[in-house]
Amino acid sequence: MNKVTVLGSLNVDTILQIPRLPQPGETLAMTDQRSAGGGKGANQAISAARSGAATSFIGKIGDDENGRMMLSFLKDAGINTEQVTVSSKGTGQAFIMLQESGENSIIIYGGANQEIKDADIENAREMIQSSDFIVTQFETPFDQATHAFKIAKEAGVVTVLNPAPAHKNVDPELLQNVDLITPNETEAEILTEIKVVDQITAHEAATRLQELGAKNVIITLGGKGAYFKTATEEKLVKAFKVHAIDTTAAGDTFLGALVSRLNKDFSNLEESIIYASKASSIAVQKVGAIPSIPTEAQVKAALEAEK
């Protein structure tokens, strides 16, 4: 069983279902509205936990009902929440415009997520050092991600960076402490200025990310699959074809499932990507982030059905 620590965001999602994105100045009626737990950190942690990883979380919530709800979601998934603390700012929120096509556009209020300090990372030092993997994203502060990854690397913990939402100028010190970076094609383009449209351009972007310091790369390509590149191997792993209803948390589900399976030496990377891709394909067939994330039993059953 992998021990996974997630340093990340906790958001309550408000999902606004619309036929399409409105034009500037246009008023458009929603077809439905609902709330659900989310945040990239929470999604990734719950995905890892539901796939059998012993999962811990470092993050912040507000002293409000949304914060208590997010804490209960983590605890219900069996996640260690000792390092989830309360901030004076409100719990993070995300407003998701979900189109009939299944595509989404997301607006985020960081709130308590942006209040993570170096002291919080130091308080979690033992948790980090005892992990097999630590995962973080860009919905919490960069400096604290760098601090956490330094602690992890000193202890031989594998560091995994999901660079989302993507930023052009990422601290080189952070990238040099990354064992695995997992952008989607849009994020890879922002990071490298290489437009990723196929396996050739994915190779170029992955090579650039390795030049910037990341040791291993997975670029998720939506319906085309996931391209990976290590020091010795590269390949495009095809996606499972499904009808997507809501792509929210597809990438987060993929990453959490991946680190639940991955060996620390990456010796089973392709096999882990296949498992993660199946988990993601299940998640996109339901509305919402946390509610859509499958369990290990569901993923294994779906993989068995493919044989």
Burial tier of 32 (Cβ tally within 10 Å: 0-12, 13-18, 19+): exposed
77 is in an annotated binding site: no
Q: Is 256 annotated as a binding residue?
A: no
Distance CA 10, CA 175 (A): 23
Per the annotation, does 80 bind a ligand?
Answer: no
Q: Does 224 count as an annotated binding residue? A: yes
Structure tokens at 219: 């670029």
Residue 60 is labelled as binding a ligand: no
Q: Is 168 annotated as a binding residue?
A: no
Task: Report whether 169 belongs to an annotated binding site.
Answer: no
Is 63 part of the annotated catalytic residue set? no
Q: Which residue of the set 120, 132, 179, 252 is catalytic?
A: 252
Copy the structure tokens of residue 158: 């594998």
User: Collapsing DSSP states into helix, strand and coil, what is residue 81?
Assistant: strand
Known binder of ligand: residue 158?
A: no
User: In 3-state terms, the chain is what percent helix, strand and coil (to 5)?
Assistant: 40, 25, 35
Which strand (E) or helix (H) includes residue 186?
A: helix 185-192
Which long-range CB contacts under 8 A does 198-205 form with residues at least 24 apart?
A: 198/224, 199/227, 199/236, 202/227, 202/236, 203/227, 203/229, 203/234
- Cα distances from 89 to residues 61, 144, 145, 179, in angstroms, run 8, 18, 20, 32
Does 246 show up as a binding residue in the annotation? Answer: yes
62 in a known ligand binding site:
no
Is 195 labelled as part of a ligand binding site? no
Q: Which residues are annotated as a binding site for ATP?
A: 184, 220-225, 251-252
Which residues are known catalytic residues? 252
Annotated binding site for K(+): 246, 248, 283, 286, 288, 292
Residue ranges for the known binding site are 11-13, 39-43, 139, 184, 220-225, 246, 248, 251-252, 283, 286, 288, 292
